[in-house]
Structure 1
C-alpha cells in the first residue's frame, strides 16, 4: 500500500493536470456511479488526506478514491496511448483539453458531497503532510492504547495518517525498539512519542520530492543503503552489522535489528 509521501505525489500530478480546467470527459466505471457525469465541471483541486485522494469539483462534489495495494492513477497528454493495465481494470477517466487522468484498479471510488467529506476521511488522525499536522495530538493518540504494539499503533490511520509498512519499520528502528514493543514500554513514552511523530513528519516531507530516487530514511545515497531495515532481511544492519530479521506483524512483513532494537519479537 502506498505511503503518504507517494499519495502526495499522486495528488500533485492530478492537481497539475486537472485543477482550474473544465472536464471534457468523465467516466466512472463503477456500478453505483456509472451514470454520474462531471463533464463541464471545473476541477477545484486534488488533495491528499493521509492515504486518501479527494478531487473536488465545482457544484460541491468530491471524487474520493483510495489506492490500497494495487490501485493507481496515471496522467497522459491527450492523444497518448494509455498504459497502466488492461482496459477492464479502468475505474475512472477524467479528461481536460490537455490531459487525461485514468484510475486503474481503484478499490475505493465514490462520488460524495464536498460538505460530507468527513464521512469518508473524518476518522483519520492528523495528516503527516497536511495542514492539520499536530505532533502532540498524534502522540496523544498513540498513547491512548498503551498496551498496543508500537508497530500496529503507527499503522493505525486513526492515530496519525500517512504511515505505511516501510515507515513503520524505519521509525521503530529510529526509536531503538522492536515493532512489538507496547507503547507503554517505550522509554519515557510521553517524551518519546512526540519526538517519534516529529521524526515521521520529517521523513515523509523529505521524501515527497523523491520522484526519481528510492525512498530514503538513512541519508545515504549508496545503493542498498537507503533504508535502515525495511526489505533488508538477512543483510547486515547499517549501524552494527548484525543480520536484520524479518517476521510478520498483523499479516505484513516486518523488519528489525535484534541488536539495535530492544523489546519483544514475533
Structure 2
C-alpha cells in the first residue's frame, strides 16, 4: 500500500530523470491532455507525503498513486509490463548513454495535474508537515502535534490518517502505530498522549524509509512483519487474542478499515 515511505523510495528511483531533456509528452487525463514538457529539462523530482512532484522548466507535474498507481521505467520500444490503457503519464526522455530514449510511465495514477512552479506553495498549503522530511524536528513535529490537538473530540485513528495534520501516514502505518502505542484507533484525541504517538509514527516510518519490506515487528520475513494490519481473526503476536476488524470514519472522513487487538488496545 503506497504511503509516505513508498513515495520517498519512488522519488529516489526517479532521480535519474534530473537533467534529462523531455523528448515527448503524453498525459492521458482529459484535464491536462494538452500540457507538454517537450524540450524542457527535468529540474527536480521530489516527494511530499504521499504526493510526487516533478519540475520541467517552469511547470510542475503533480501525481498521486492512490491505491493502485505504479511507475515503470524502460527503454523506448520495449514491451510494457502493464496494459497500455492504464497509462496516465508517458514521458520520453533523452537516453544517453543508452542507445534509445528512456520512457517513464505512470500507470493507474489517482491524480495527475500540472501547474506553474509559482503555485507550488499554494497547491500544497493544505497538507500537514511531511513526516519523512529531513527538517521534521525543526518545525514539522510541533505543527503535527498542534494540528491533531486542535480537534480533541476526533478519534486518533482519523487524526493520524488526515493528511492535513501530517502528510505521509497511511492505513497500514496507522494500524501499527496504534498497536505499538497500546491505544484503540477509535479513542478520542483528548485521551491520547499525542506527542508520544507522533514521535512513534516518525520513528517507525523513518526506520522503514529505505526498507523494501515494511517492518513493524522487527521480523523481516513476509507474513511476520506486522502486528495487526490485515490480520483479522488471527492471533495477536503479543497476547494471542484474536485481532478484530471494523471501519472508522464517516462525515468528512472516508470510512477506512481498522484492525486492533482487544486486549493490547482496550477500547
Q: Give, in whole Å, the separation in 2 of the partners of 1:166 and 1:30.
A: 29
Shift of 1:25: 1.9
Q: Give, in whole Å, the separation in 1 of the partners of 2:78 and 2:166.
A: 38
Shift of 1:210: 1.8
| 1:41 corresponding residue in structure 2 | 40
Shift of 1:70: 2.0
| 1:115 corresponding residue in structure 2 | 118
Query: Residues 246 and 253 of structure 1 are in contact (CA less than 8 Å); yes or no, is this contact kept in structure 2?
Result: yes
Question: Which of 174, 177, 186 is matched with 2:180 structurally?
Answer: 174
Q: Deviations over 1:40-85 (max 9, x none)?
A: 1110111111111110112x1100111112222212233422122x
Higher mean C-alpha displacement, 42-51 vs 198-207: 198-207
Q: Give, in whole Å, the separation in 1 of the partners of 2:171 and 2:263.
A: 21
Say which SS state the counterpart of residue 197 (structure 1) adopts. Answer: helix
| 1:236 corresponding residue in structure 2 | 235
| 1:82 corresponding residue in structure 2 | 80
Are 1:258 and 2:262 counterparts? yes
Q: Deviations over 1:17-48 (max 9, x none)?
A: x1111112211122232222211111011111
Where in structure 2 are the equivalents of 1:1-266 lying within 5 Å?
Answer: 2-16=2-16, 18-58=17-57, 60-84=58-82, 86-98=83-95, 99-133=102-136, 134-186=140-192, 192-211=193-212, 214-250=213-249, 251-263=255-267
Q: Give, in whole Å, the separation in 2 of the partners of 1:167 and 1:223.
A: 16
Q: Give, in whole Å, the separation in 1 of the partners of 2:65 and 2:84.
A: 17
Shift of 1:151: 0.3
Q: Give, in whole Å, the separation in 2 of the partners of 1:136 and 1:119.
A: 21
Structure 1 spans left out of the alignment, 5+ residues? 187-191
Say which SS state the counterpart of residue 249 (structure 1) adopts. Answer: strand
Query: Residues 13 and 75 of structure 1 are in contact (CA less than 8 Å); yes or no, is this contact kept in structure 2?
Result: no
Between the two proteins, the alignment pairs up a number of residues equal to 253
Q: Structure 1 stretches (4+) deviating beyond 4 angstroms?
A: none
Structure 2 spans left out of the alignment, 5+ residues? 96-101, 250-254
Say which SS state the counterpart of residue 14 (structure 2) adopts. Answer: helix
TM-score of the superposed pair, with normalisation by structure 2: 0.89
Q: Deviations over 1:139-198 (max 9, x none)?
A: 111111001000000000000000000011111111111000000012xxxxx3222212
Query: Residues 63 and 112 of structure 1 are in contact (CA less than 8 Å); yes or no, is this contact kept in structure 2?
Result: yes
